[in-house]
């Protein structure tokens, strides 16, 4: 496989005792290789693709959604496009490499040519929200065959889904910047945030359910704040969708806060059945099918905490059990200088967070984050 790895960004803050070193690489090799194979008539070297680390990460991500995302189906798609044919079954959307080959080529060229500017902006967005002395070396992979729209992250690798964005790539530029920032921050969170829960399927008690809800509120909310889509420019398909979703959620943000309260109440209702009921409760709050409304609750919480206590309070709080994020937000609302979009959680939701936060040492950590960082 032709290797086209471009190291494009290194940002080191001036303070010698608290330097932040963030690097992001853009790898166009997979997308370019697929483009070279399309309509070439070449024979596919299966070992090349079976050994590909980025492809293994991509397949692992996709299989969370459907079993059809296998290496065998990927290889079948490769063989079809090599003969300039659209696969009969095309879960990876290889068809774009045949039917929209010129469009795909222009999109890959555009992202390659603008990689330095794009990644510099991403690093600028991320830097205020990571701890002092934080080091990160991440990768952004352009993928030419994927079922998603926008991008996704797995095993520390962020994938930009070129087929979805290629139709109007220049108009998608700002959305791509924010998308990469959002997903890269998730990779960073895995490095410094409080140990995440085992997963949705492992939630078996009400307290575990509360913790999981607060965890997603903090992690997704902080990433959404960094990758705020409300004012992005551009009328590409992904840009319009992302901007509309964010603006629509902010128009009824106070209602979104109430919905989160109701999901917390639902956990207590029939709590003995929480293991079977919780996936639906969680989905109503965070699933894209329902508008991801709690992402924007967490986004506004992050904005309010930053407004009251400074950017560095975010990475400090994410190191603590996640109920502290709610308690920090509640403290921020009590200072009398609030952002107009901010709404209060119910007393019951705050009480749940306080009950989870029983250790005095944890409360001291909360106070250190929200007062020292002012």
Do 73 and 174 sit in the same domain of this protein? yes
CA–CA distance, 140 with 8 (Å, rounded to integer) = 11
Phi, psi of 38 (to 5 degrees): -55, 125
Q: Give the pLDDT means over successive 10-residue stretches in the chain (374 positions).
A: 37 46 90 95 96 94 91 96 94 94 94 93 96 92 88 84 92 96 92 84 91 96 98 95 97 97 92 89 90 96 97 96 95 94 97 81 78 70
Do 207 and 233 sit in the same domain of this protein? yes
pTM higher than 0.85: yes
Do 310 and 350 sit in the same domain of this protein? yes
Domain edge (last residue) among 192, 211, 231? 192
Residue 125: predicted pLDDT = 97
Q: Find, among 80, 76, 64, 56, the residue nearest to 143 by Cα.
A: 56
Residue 144: predicted pLDDT = 93
Distance from first CA to last CA of the chain, Å, rounded? 50
Do 125 and 252 sit in the same domain of this protein? no
Residue 67: predicted pLDDT = 92
Q: How many domains does the chain have?
A: 2
Do 86 and 164 sit in the same domain of this protein? yes
* Helix boundaries (H) for 51-153: 53-62, 71-82, 95-99, 101-113, 115-126
State the virtual CA torsion across 83, 88, 89, 91 in degrees, nearest 10. 50
Residue 268: predicted pLDDT = 87
Do 187 and 205 sit in the same domain of this protein? no
Domain edge (last residue) among 192, 211, 234? 192
Residue 25: predicted pLDDT = 85
Do 180 and 214 sit in the same domain of this protein? no
Q: Are 186 and 223 in contact (CB under 8 A)?
A: yes
Domain that holds residue 113: 5-192
Q: Find, among 148, 170, 169, the residue nearest to 159 by Cα.
A: 148
Residue 10: predicted pLDDT = 34
Do 294 and 367 sit in the same domain of this protein? yes
Strand partners, 139: 25, 157
Do 79 and 19 sit in the same domain of this protein? yes
Do 310 and 188 sit in the same domain of this protein? no
- Positive or negative, the CA dihedral 294, 297, 303, 305 is negative
């Amino acid at each position: 496989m032709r290797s086209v790895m471009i190291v494009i960004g290194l940002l080191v803050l001036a303070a010698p005792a608290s330097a932040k070193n963030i690097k992001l690489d853009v790898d166009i090799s997979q997308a370019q290789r697929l483009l070279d194979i399309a309509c070439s008539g070449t024979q596919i070297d299966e070992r090349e693709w079976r050994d590909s680390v980025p492809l293994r990460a991509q397949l692992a991500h996709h299989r969370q959604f459907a079993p059809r995302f296998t290496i065998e189906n990927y290889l079948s798609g490769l063989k079809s496009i090599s003969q300039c044919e659209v696969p009969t079954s095309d879960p990876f959307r290889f068809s774009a490499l045949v039917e929209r080959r010129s469009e795909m080529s222009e999109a890959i060229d555009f992202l390659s040519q603008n990689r330095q500017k794009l990644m510099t902006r991403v690093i600028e967005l991320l830097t205020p929200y990571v701890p002092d002395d934080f080091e990160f070396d991440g990768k952004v992979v352009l993928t030419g065959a994927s079922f998603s729209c926008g991008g996704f992250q797995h095993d520390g690798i962020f994938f930009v889904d070129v087929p979805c964005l290629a139709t109007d790539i220049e108009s998608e530029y700002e959305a791509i910047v924010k998308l990469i920032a959002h997903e890269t921050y998730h990779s960073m969170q895995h490095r410094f945030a409080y140990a995440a829960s085992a997963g949705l399927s492992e939630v078996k008690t009400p307290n575990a359910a509360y913790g999981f809800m607060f965890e997603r509120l903090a992690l997704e909310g902080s990433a959404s704040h960094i990758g705020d889509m409300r004012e992005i420019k551009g009328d590409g398909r992904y840009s319009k969708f992302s901007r509309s979703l964010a603006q629509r959620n902010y128009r009824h943000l106070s209602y979104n806060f109430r919905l989160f309260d109701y999901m917390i109440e639902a956990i207590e209702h029939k709590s003995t059945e929480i293991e079977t009921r919780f996936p639906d409760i969680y989905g109503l709050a965070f699933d894209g099918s329902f508008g991801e409304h709690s992402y924007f609750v967490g986004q506004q919480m992050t904005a309010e905490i930053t407004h009251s206590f400074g950017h560095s309070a975010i990475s400090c709080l994410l190191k603590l059990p996640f109920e502290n994020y709610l308690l920090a937000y509640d403290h921020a609302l009590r200072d009398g200088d609030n952002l107009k979009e901010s709404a209060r959680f119910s007393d019951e939701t705050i009480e749940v967070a306080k009950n989870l936060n029983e250790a005095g040492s944890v409360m001291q950590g909360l106070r250190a984050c929200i007062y020292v960082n002012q």
